Amino acid sequence: MLKVEHLTKVYEGGVVGIEDVSFEVPDQQFLAVIGLSGSGKSTLLRCINRLIEPTEGRISWNGVDITAASQEEMRRIRRKIGMVFQHFNLVHRSKVMTNVLAGRLGYVNPLASLVNRFPKSDIEKAVATLDRVGIADKANARADELSGGQQQRVGIARAMMQDPEMVLADEPVASLDPVLADSIMTYLVDINKNDNVTVLCSLHFLDLVHRYADFVIALNDGKLMFEGTPEQITDQRFKEIYGQEAERLG
């Protein structure tokens, strides 16, 4: 169970990222976070693993207070939280294999990893994971030689290497075409349903939300506007979330 209570982030210079956001995510839920660009979706997700330090509020996960964790504790918490990014965030010049193995960095011994040495079990796991996302043949290619869809699969493989209990996906399909988007979402659902991983996924397309999400929260201008199942998003609700001028497509 992930509990977010009164979370607020004010950036340096006074820009408000999110304001007084509270919600709960039961284990193994697929939660979609929707809202316009700049509505605070990324800020919210990054506050959960503290890539961004929240200004106020409290986040607790399975009884552990994430907001109060020390650097060392945070490291141990982060390795159980996988993250998938809109722009994939792969290290371009490194091999696909190295990018995937980077998911184990929180577990392996720091000294050994500095000389690029990973335990045999990790390497086998990486091969298996790449196979699971369907790009086992690309293991030795450089990351920037891959197409966008393939790069996002590497990103998902990296998150899966962490043996995560929760995955934060920040607009994982926003830079991909609809067909690829669908296949990437399938992998996330696969992790959610078969590996029992909680998924928090920010999305643009309501279509995808309807198809994959168990539950939806919506942000507008940093504030929580809506909490409910995808079916509860009526036209009226839609206009509240996206603004009065918005037309519903798809």
CB of 75 to another protein, least distance (A): 5
Residue 55 interacting with another protein (CB under 8 A): no
Residue 22: both structure tokens together: 């509270």
Q: How far apart are CA 2 and CA 168, in angstroms?
A: 12
Q: How far apart are CA 232 and CA 250, in angstroms?
A: 16
Q: Are 21 and 146 in contact (CB under 8 A)?
A: no
Q: Are 7 and 21 in contact (CB under 8 A)?
A: yes
CB of 171 to another protein, least distance (A): 13
Residue 111 interacting with another protein (CB under 8 A): yes
Quick one: which of 6, 92, 193, 211 contacts another protein (CB under 8 A)?
A: 92
Nearest to 91 by CA among 158, 166, 23, 171: 158
Strands in 198-203's sheet, in edge-to-edge order, are: 81-84, 166-170, 198-203, 30-34, 215-220, 223-228
Binding mask 206-225 for another protein (x = CB under 8 A): --------------------
Residue 39 interacting with another protein (CB under 8 A): no
Q: How far apart are CA 244 and CA 236, in angstroms?
A: 9
Q: Is 203 helix (H, G, I), strand (E, B) or coil?
A: strand
Residue 81 interacting with another protein (CB under 8 A): yes
CB of 4 to another protein, least distance (A): 18
Q: How far apart are CA 53 and CA 65, in angstroms?
A: 14
Quick one: which of 93, 140, 231, 235 contacts another protein (CB under 8 A)?
A: 93
Pick the stretch among 106-114, 128-136, 175-183, 209-217 that binds another protein (CB under 8 A): 106-114
Binders in 117-176 for another protein, by CB under 8 A:
119, 155, 158, 162
CB of 182 to another protein, least distance (A): 23
Quick one: which of 8, 55, 58, 79 contacts another protein (CB under 8 A)?
A: 79
Q: Are 119 and 187 in contact (CB under 8 A)?
A: no
Residue 78 interacting with another protein (CB under 8 A): yes
Binding site for another protein (CB under 8 A): 49, 51, 70, 72, 75-83, 85, 87-94, 98, 102-114, 119, 155, 158, 162
